Amino acid sequence: MVGLYLGTSSGALLNNFDTKRIEVLRGPQGTLFGKNTTGGVVNVIRGDVTMDWNGDFSVTLGDDGREDIKGVLNVPIVDEKLGVKLFANQIKSDGWVKNVTINEDAFGDDKKTYGFAALWRPTDNFDIKLHYEHNEDETDTGATVNVSQAGPGQDLDCILDGVWPAPSCAATDKRADEDHTTANDRNYNDSEYDTVILTMNWDVGPGVITSITGNRDMDEQYRFEFDGGGHEFLYFDYLNEWEQFSQELRFTSNFSGNFQLVGGLYYWEVDYLQDWDVYQLLYTLDRTGTLVPGLPPGAAGFTENTVSRNGQAQDTTSYAAFAQGDWQVSEKWTLTAGIRYTYEEKDFTGGNGIVYTKVPGEPRPEFETLDFEDDWSEPTGKLGFTYDFSDETMIFGSWAQGFKSGGFFGRQATFDGFDPTYDPEYVENWELGMKSTWMDGRMIFNPTIFFNDYEDKQEDILIFNSTSDVATVIRNVGELEIWGIELEWQYQLTEAWNIRANYGYLDAEYKDYTADLNGDGIETDNTDLRPRNTPENTFGFSTTYTAEIGPGELVGVLSYRWRDE
């Protein structure tokens, strides 16, 4: 995001209405960017501050109450010296899921973004850009559907069927399907994000020195209905606070010879706090006599106002130095080598939670916490080449190492008997591909084959701890291998008609996965499990036709995407 690494998935789904281009880079990229990565980089490049009067505005209307308004306006202040870009958008919809319990549409959109970017160029070799962006998101965090199963070992919702006024089990809850939910309330969301990025570029002759200073604050509060039934059974109120600061200092060469260099230093610091309340669960378990074996229903004395509170906090500090050089050996051959050193430390505080009776107007009680801390460091490298067969065809290949530090997984109800610590993850990536144009530039064909070898792959799993607690922990996989093929094809049939297609194949397999996955203290062989999010085949096709109509254009787009389970 304009040179800023987003350190959490929260708020990472950007409203990309002011986008110049998006770069997708596969594999470890730590020798080229400030923050280290293992899987790759999605680099979003925003539109320029042009210092000329121009704008881009659009309105989109659709079914389910869809209303999108987007606008970008460039304003010159001082000719060729100072300019401002203003941007704003709003995305709204009622939602395509009907909540038949509260008789409202659900899973709608409600997002707002506004901000500015100011560019000052006091001299020909120095410029400063300040980017500020504010995001508000009140979009529902999903629409929960009741899928509780009856029968032997049946879910608790089905045990309660007939006890609650509304149907509890999916077998009797006939109103719930893929378009309808019977949840007793919405999964509301109230989140705000503020981002400030200051970028300075100084052309010193042999190269450009770049400084990128970034700060991002996030405040999130949302409710989640876990059971999906039409009664008060189990719901969470979450509160997350996140603040990150980063500073990158980078030198990009502009040497006159056949060698070019990118190198820099990077500092990243993040503090997060998460807090949540769990409602109705203990009261429900107490009423049914399933909270503690042997206790009759209601013996624990929990009420509808009984709440379980928990939370965690963590401070992370990361330092890195990186460099990557390209040496043009000949007119056709270019060799690449890079190196990186990363050091990261984390201080984590986890809570074992507390049960209390909520009284309106009174503060929530504090709970017992446990402290953990650790640090990790690792050097990583990259080697690569490109070979230009011609002006239209280039072959490339690379080997790269990736490193993701260990840490402490925080989102669990108790740390008694569960160590939240997990070890670092390592990956080696091999890649070989071609980029080519044919038929005087009318056709593009880019095939790539790649192989990833993970050691100590980090995977999160659920472990049953008690009737009222399922703990999430991260375990390190011994070894995971992924190899695949990607084919990209594009053809310009006529000046107005364009066709694109892509195909991907993945073969992902655990070679060694020995770990305790159910919390009984016994490590088992789990190599037969299939890694998540690794569909074997994916395919995409799109075609665009542009027709000139008077002073404007009429554009038709047809697209199709498919992926395996």
* pLDDT score of 119 more than 90: yes
Looking at residue 8, the DSSP 8-state letter turns out to be S
User: What is the per-residue pLDDT for 469?
Assistant: 60
* pLDDT score of 9 more than 70: no
Q: Is 361 exposed, middle or buried (0-12, 13-18, 19+ CB in 10 A)?
A: exposed
Tokens representing 348 are: 């984590």
**Angle at 382 (CA atoms; ends 456, 402), nearest 5 degrees:** 20
Q: What DSSP string describes 275-293? A: EEEEESHHHHHHHHT-SST
* Residue 160 and residue 206 in contact, taking contact as beta carbons nearer than 8 Å: no
User: What is the per-residue pLDDT for 310?
Assistant: 87
Q: How confident is the model at residue 12 (pLDDT cuts 50, 70, 90)?
A: low
User: What is the per-residue pLDDT for 40?
Assistant: 77
- Within 13 A of 285's CA, how many CA atoms are on the CB side? 19
Residue 288 sits at φ, ψ, to 5 deg, of -90, -5
Looking at residue 296, the DSSP 8-state letter turns out to be P
Question: Which H/E stretch holds residue 158?
Answer: helix 156-159
SS (H, E, C) 38-93: CCEEEEEEECCCCCCCEEEEEEEEECCCEEEEEEEEEEEEECCCEEEEEEEEEEEC
Q: State pLDDT tens for residues 182-210.
A: 888 888 889 999 999 999 999 999 999 99
Q: What DSSP string describes 449-515? A: EEEEEEEEEEEEEEEEEETTEEEEEEEEEEEEEEEEEEEEEEEE-SSSEEEEEEEEEEEEEEEE-EE
* Residue 112 and residue 68 in contact, taking contact as beta carbons nearer than 8 Å: no
Whether the CA torsion 31, 37, 43, 44 is positive or negative: it is: negative
Most distant CA pair in the chain: distance in Å?
A: 84
Q: How far is CA 391 from CA 121, 241, 256, 441, 514, in A?
A: 36, 51, 22, 11, 50
Model's pTM, two decimal places?
0.87
Q: How confident is the model at residue 562 (pLDDT cuts 50, 70, 90)?
A: very high
Lowest mean pLDDT among 157-166, 180-189, 383-392: 157-166
